[in-house]
């Protein structure tokens, strides 16, 4: 069976590729715009030729083409940035990033790969771009550009069906060049996994108290007497299971917020701004997740208590001196917990120099790698059966 050798466009830090080497699939060439992400990717995947730069620039585009031909690339995986389409973003119809799909298709047409995987947020299906002066839906543009040469299989994929403990939908296109006479399939209904809950995935991890922004260690221990003990217990599990840093006023309200609820619904301990005025917001902000459900979608703002559905479920730990119920883990998920709910291998070699913001933002833009692994396993199965025939 011919070895699968790939090009990864808009590669981020390589989240999608985390399991490909394990199943014999090679990413030979990758392209990423941002230097710190490209450096991260290169350290995790030293065998990959990383081309750092803007694909819309002729020099970078030509490097991608020449290196891919040199490495005998026979598949392309492309995950164009989604901020112009995502429901977590501004959804500006003229966002230049919406047009990056055109460069991906230009690369595909030049390389003529045997297999293609394109993925993005479901909102892509309702997003238009201007092509020859006319508004065209992105999926229609993809199909019209490639249908003559490729058999196209498109679907909305939910990560929970692929064994990922997170509810995350993606629009995906699987394509096979027509001369190959095979089809690349999504998993069948009877292959879909039973949803994995947060309790099943991270419920055994040590509790963490958040680090209060601006507090000295003495002040921290006065507020959370067990802070250091919990922190050390977390680090014994992983160097990435450490306390996130939060503002005191955010931590204070989450201490009084139970599982599955938003602090905005609290009678007394509700979010206030720095002037003491009650904050207005959606009821999925300042909100704890549920233990008995998969995680909500990990967004790029996963480090903020005030953003969407980010806060650890916590556990009831007693009452305060006023008789108010208190709950543990008044914080967002740790980076280690995010890795788990993203289905990233627990020993994935994150570079030690990578900042919290780089890791969190990149994970929020990534696709759970277990989805990619299972889709490529399906392709490998098809190729193996084709060889036998």
What is the mean pLDDT of the segment spanning 259-268? 95
Confidence class for position 90, pLDDT limits 50, 70, 90: very low
Span 105-117, pLDDT tens digits: 999 999 999 999 9
Q: Between these two residues, 71 and 134, which has the higher pLDDT value?
A: 71
170 located within any domain: yes
**Does the pLDDT at position 151 exceed 60?**
yes
82 belongs to the catalytic site: yes
295 located within any domain: no
Residue 318 CA to residue 314 CA, distance in Å, equals: 12
> What φ, ψ does residue 262 adopt, rounded to 5°?
-100, 140
Span 152-185, pLDDT tens digits: 999 999 999 999 999 999 999 999 999 998 999 9
What is the mean pLDDT of the segment spanning 188-192? 93
What is the mean pLDDT of the segment spanning 118-128? 84
Structure tokens at 55: 């694909």
89 located within any domain: yes
CB 19 within 8 A of CB 372: yes
The total number of structural domains that make up the chain:
1
Confidence class for position 80, pLDDT limits 50, 70, 90: confident
**Does the pLDDT at position 42 exceed 90?**
yes
241 located within any domain: no
298 located within any domain: no
Structure tokens at 327: 């709950």
33-66 per-residue burial string, b: 16 or more CB within 10 A, e: under 16? bbebbbbbbbbbbeebbbbbbebeeeebbebbbe
Q: What CATH number does the domain containing 96 carry? A: 3.40.50.150
**Does the pLDDT at position 382 exceed 50?**
yes
187 located within any domain: yes
Q: Which of 52, 82, 261, 306 is catalytic?
A: 82
**Does the pLDDT at position 88 exceed 50?**
no
- In the chain, the largest separation of any two C-alpha atoms, in whole Å, equals 74
Strands 245-246 and 316-319: unpaired
316 located within any domain: no
36's CB contacts (< 8 A; 6+ apart) are 354, 358
108-137 per-residue burial string, b: 16 or more CB within 10 A, e: under 16? beebebbbbbbbbbbbbeebebeeeeeeee
What is the mean pLDDT of the segment spanning 223-244? 98
Q: Residue 34's domain spans which residues?
A: 5-193+366-388
39 located within any domain: yes
Structure tokens at 41: 């990717």
């Amino acid at each position: 069976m011919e070895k699968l050798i790939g090009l990864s466009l808009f590669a981020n830090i390589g989240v999608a590729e985390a399991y490909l080497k394990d199943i014999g699939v090679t990413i030979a060439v990758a392209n990423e715009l941002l230097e710190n992400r490209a450096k991260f990717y290169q350290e995790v995947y030293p065998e990959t030729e990383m081309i750092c730069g803007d694909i819309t620039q002729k020099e970078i585009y030509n490097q991608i083409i020449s290196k891919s031909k040199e490495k005998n690339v026979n598949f392309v995986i492309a995950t164009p940035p989604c901020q112009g389409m995502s429901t977590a973003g501004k959804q500006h119809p003229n966002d230049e990033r919406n047009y990056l799909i055109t460069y991906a298709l230009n690369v595909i047409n030049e390389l003529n790969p045997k297999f293609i995987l394109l993925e993005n947020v479901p909102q892509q299906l309702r997003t238009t771009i201007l092509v020859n002066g006319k508004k065209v839906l992105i999926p229609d543009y993809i199909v019209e550009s490639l249908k003559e040469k490729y058999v196209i299989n498109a679907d909305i994929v939910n990560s929970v069906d692929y064994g990922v403990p997170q509810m995350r939908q993606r629009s995906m296109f699987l394509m096979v060049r027509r001369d190959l006479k095979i089809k690349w399939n999504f998993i069948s209904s009877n292959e879909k996994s039973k949803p994995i809950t947060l309790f099943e995935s991270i419920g055994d991890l040590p509790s963490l108290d958040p680090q209060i922004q601006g507090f000295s260690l003495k002040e921290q221990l006065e507020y959370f007497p067990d802070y250091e003990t919990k922190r050390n217990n977390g680090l014994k599990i992983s160097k990435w299971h450490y306390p996130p840093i939060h503002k005191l006023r955010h931590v204070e309200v989450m201490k009084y917020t139970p599982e599955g609820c938003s602090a905005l619904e609290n009678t007394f301990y509700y979010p206030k701004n720095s002037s003491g005025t009650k904050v207005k917001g959606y009821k999925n902000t300042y909100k704890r997740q549920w233990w008995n459900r998969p995680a909500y979608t990990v967004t790029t703002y996963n480090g903020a208590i005030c953003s969407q559905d980010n806060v650890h479920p916590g556990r009831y730990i007693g009452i305060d001196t006023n008789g108010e119920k208190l709950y543990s883990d008044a914080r967002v998920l740790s980076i280690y917990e995010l890795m788990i709910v993203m289905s990233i291998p627990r020993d994935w070699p994150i570079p030690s120099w990578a900042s919290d913001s780089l890791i969190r933002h990149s994970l929020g833009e990534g696709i759970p790698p277990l989805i990619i692994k299972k889709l490529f396993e399906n392709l490998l199965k098809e190729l193996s059966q084709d060889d036998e025939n």
